Amino acid sequence: TTAKNFLKISKIDSYYGQIQALNGIDLYIDKGEIVTLIGSNGAGKSTTLKSISGQVRPKQGTISFDGIDITKKPAHQTALLGIAQVPEGRRIFPRLTVRENLQIGAFSEKNKTVVSERMERVFSYFPRLKERLSQKGGTMSGGEQQMLAIGRALMMKPKLLMLDEPSMGLAPIIVEQIFDIIKEMNKEGMTILLVEQNAYQALQIADRGYVIQTGQIVLDGKGEELMKNEQVREAYLA
Ligand code: ATP
């Protein structure tokens, strides 16, 4: 295991057909860090996550994770290597129960004892999920669905947890709760890449941050430095 550059993205370009979404992105995450990628609508945040997880294949550049070149690996392989993605809009299975949604997250683990241990761990972060095990995912509130989406990702016991705008559409108090839990998971050793439009909250809990604009990283630095940066304040904290 490589603690430095646990994830390393070097000069990637990603496209959707003819449309270039990423233009020379460089980014690294050391083991145990919480790093945030902030930027406005359409800047390329989700595409960066998809390029890492293998849902989008970069045309140029390389991505390595835990010492392995994952540039061309499809999503099911990056998942097996320990990269979990909580997608934008949560995408839980609405007709399945909370328990079933969580079990799907542990698809690669056949040992039932291990699965139930992981579930207990998820409940330690999200006790609400334990109370609602038989409820259908689709009938949960927005905040509960976000908890379920994060819980489902944790069920694969990832080494890197990537979250795509977990605050989207949630009341401020719920956002605060979710960010507290993200911080707590990080304190317990989880390496996290957090994509957010909610720059203020994200920079508050992040060790470091990157600012992305039209597919390029325009700024990076420590969370507190970026929070004080004039450019960031004007564009993202106003
Ligand atoms: P948002 O916060 O709105 O999700 P984002 O920073 O995550 O924004 P991306 O979703 O990565 O931005 O989009 C980057 C660019 O790629 C945008 O110009 C977007 O229109 C384009 N794009 C994204 N997905 C597709 C797609 N499936 N087909 C074509 N273009 C796409």
pLDDT of residue 1 exceeding 60, the answer is no
Probe residue for ligand 1, chosen from 41, 46, 216 as the CB with the greatest number of ligand atoms within 8 Å: 46
* Residue 238: pLDDT over 70: no
3-state helix, strand, coil in the chain (%, to 5): 40, 25, 35
Q: What is the length of the chain? A: 238
Burial class (CB in 10 A: 0-12, 13-18, 19+), 22: buried
Q: Whose CA is nearest to atom 20 of ligand 1?
A: 42
pLDDT digit string, tens, across residues 198-231: 898 899 999 999 999 999 999 999 999 999 999 8
ipTM for the predicted complex comes to 0.92
Q: Which atom of ligand 1 is nearest to the CA of 88?
A: 4
* The amino acid at 156: M
Taking the centre of ligand 1 as the mean of its atom positions, its distance from the CA of residue 27, in whole angstroms, is 19
Ligand 1 binding site (Cβ under 6 Å of any ligand atom): 16, 19, 21, 39, 41-47, 88, 197
| pLDDT one-digit tens code per residue, 53-93 | 999 999 999 999 999 999 999 999 999 999 999 998 888 99
pLDDT at residue 234 tops 80? yes
**How far does residue 118's CA lie from ligand 1's centre (Å)?**
33
Overall average pLDDT of the 230-236 stretch: 86
Q: What is the pLDDT of residue 120?
A: 96
Greatest CA span in the chain, whole angstroms? 52
Whether pLDDT at 113 is above 60: yes
What is the C-alpha separation between 109 and 145, in angstroms, rounded?
23
Considering only residues 180 and 2, tell me which one the structure prediction assigns the higher pLDDT.
180
- Spatial contact of 212 and 190, defined as CB atoms under 8 Å apart: no
Closest CA to 47 of 88, 7, 83, 76: 88
Rounded CA separation 66/156 (Å): 17
Q: How far is the CA of 16 from the centre of ligand 1 (A)?
A: 9
Is residue 154 within 8 A of residue 84, CB to CB? The reply is yes
Give the other-Cβ count within 10 Å of 44's Cβ.
Answer: 23
State pLDDT tens for residues 153-179: 999 999 999 999 999 989 899 999 999
Alpha carbon nearest to ligand 1 atom 27, residue = 16
